[in-house]
Amino acid sequence: MNHIAKRAGASPATVLTWAGLLAVLAVLTGCTDSEPFISGKPGSSPYAIRITPQDGARDIRPDARVEVEVSDGRLEHVKVTQIEAAEQSANPDRNRDAGRREMRGLISQDGLSWTPRGASGRLSLAARYSVDVVALDGAGRRSARHSTFTTAVPQHRFTSRFEPDERSTVGTGMIVSFRFDRVIKNRAAVQRAIRITAEPAVEVVGHWFGGARLDFRPAAYWKPGTEVTVAVALHDVEGAPGVFGTQRKTVTFVVGRSQVSRVDVADHTMEVRRDGRLLSKVPITAGAPATSTYNGKMVVTEMQKVTRMDGRTVGFGGEYDIKDVPHAVRITDSGTFVHGNYWAGGGVFGSANVSHGCVGLQDVKGGGGNTPAGWFFDRTIVGDVVEVVNSEDKKVAPDNGLGGWNLNWIQWKAGSALH
């Protein structure tokens, strides 16, 4: 091997290119275990190259330690590469991020060990890795080692759905809400894998509602014009014992103008303010005494020009089933809407509360654009805020729709898994 190094014009201190590494590997592949430095078997020689996980290992966990060591001499090159995903051939759609990816790492100052750098050391599940090493022994002789290992194929996965959509424009009350399809036990690991940043910068904190929902918001409503980036790195994160995430994606949305509508149940009116300026004071009808409207801050999550409302779907009996409710703006998961109402007498708007908990605006059958309900619908976007005051009902629960603004900042931060 000294002869090979001299013919190449190299010295022990020479840094090989990766083309050179491949050449060294090719020459040394034919060597036998009679040369102990090349064998790499733990304990076979004080000059062995030791690779963890060992060559041919299977079902390695994603948090397993990856390390290369020599007990004498020094490491010259180490390259750890994800060369394929084991699941790719069986289900190509499941491994869109599969491919050759190099793991970054550092050789120690004494040259005796190599370890991954930071988060790059976490392995992908259902993947095959190669490890290529070139080292110098105490006499300055260059040797190489190649090994492979495969990581475990998970039996159970979890995923989530969240909004808003990519490049959407939302109101200043938007809360980014993740709903998971499995109960999350390792909440800190999952929350840490979701990063939400804003420009202009603002602190954004997550709050858990039970084990299957995680919401994010700043201390106060977003500033109009803010660009928010949601980076999801849940792929292979262990959300519960033996249950791993699937998602890796980035979504950016923009916060539009500020619109806050204040519903005064006692006064039977709704004031709509845009960037603090009063646009209109609209007459409304809210929930009747027996079916009153929630107090509190609620956020628009859905808008439909026409929808069906059946009381049996929200806990009532057969009191109503209206198949063509116009201009429906949802503000709670439990079924509270600001919507058009064509069936009540015109005299109730601005004077009486007769609904089953929704906020009703005067409208016509089919939904006319020239009505209070049509006017409000055309000026509303997802993420706008509707605040109800002076109702006889309780305050809306913070997990009913995007009701998290009803918690103060101290209460909100207390629900984070990252302290």
Active site residues: 339, 358
Element (H, E) at 409: helix 409-414
Nearest alpha-carbon partner for 341 in 272, 289, 282, 400? 282
pLDDT digit string (tens) for the chain, length 419 residues: 444 333 334 444 444 444 454 444 444 443 333 333 444 344 444 468 999 999 999 999 988 999 999 988 999 999 999 987 754 433 444 444 445 789 999 999 999 999 998 777 789 899 999 999 999 998 889 999 999 999 999 999 999 999 898 999 999 999 999 999 999 999 999 999 999 999 999 999 999 999 999 999 999 999 999 999 999 999 999 999 999 999 999 999 999 999 999 999 999 999 999 999 999 999 999 999 999 999 999 999 999 999 988 766 666 666 668 899 999 999 999 999 999 999 998 899 999 999 999 999 999 998 877 999 999 999 999 999 999 999 999 999 999 999 999 999 999 999 999 98
Q: Name the token pair of 245.
A: 């995430």
Q: CA-CA distance, 118 to 133, in Å (whole number)? A: 20
Q: How many CB atoms lie within 10 A of CB 419?
A: 6
Q: Give the pLDDT score at 85.
A: 73
- Tell me the pLDDT tens digit for each residue of 99-135: 578 999 999 999 999 999 877 778 989 999 999 999 9
Q: Across the chain, what does the average pLDDT equal? A: 86
The CA-based dihedral angle spanning residues 356, 357, 363, 369, taken in that order and rounded to the nearest 10 degrees? -150
Q: State the distance between the two ends of the chain, measured CA to CA, in whole angstroms.
A: 56
Report the distance separating Cα 198 and Cα 292, nearest Å: 38
At 207-221, the pLDDT tens digits run 999 999 999 999 999
pLDDT of residue 184: 98
pLDDT of residue 346: 82
Per-residue pLDDT of 276-285, as tens digits, reads 999 999 999 9
Rounded distance between C-alpha atoms, residue 254 and residue 241, angstroms: 36
Residue 363 and residue 329 in contact, taking contact as beta carbons nearer than 8 Å: no
Contact 222, 198 (CB under 8 A): yes
Which residues share a beta bridge with 67?
52
* pLDDT at residue 307, rounded to an integer: 93
Ordered structural domains, the chain, with CATH: 2-150 (2.60.40.3780), 156-256 (2.60.40.3710), 259-406 (2.40.440.10)
Helix (H) or strand (E) holding 307: strand 302-310
- Give pLDDT, residue 266: 97
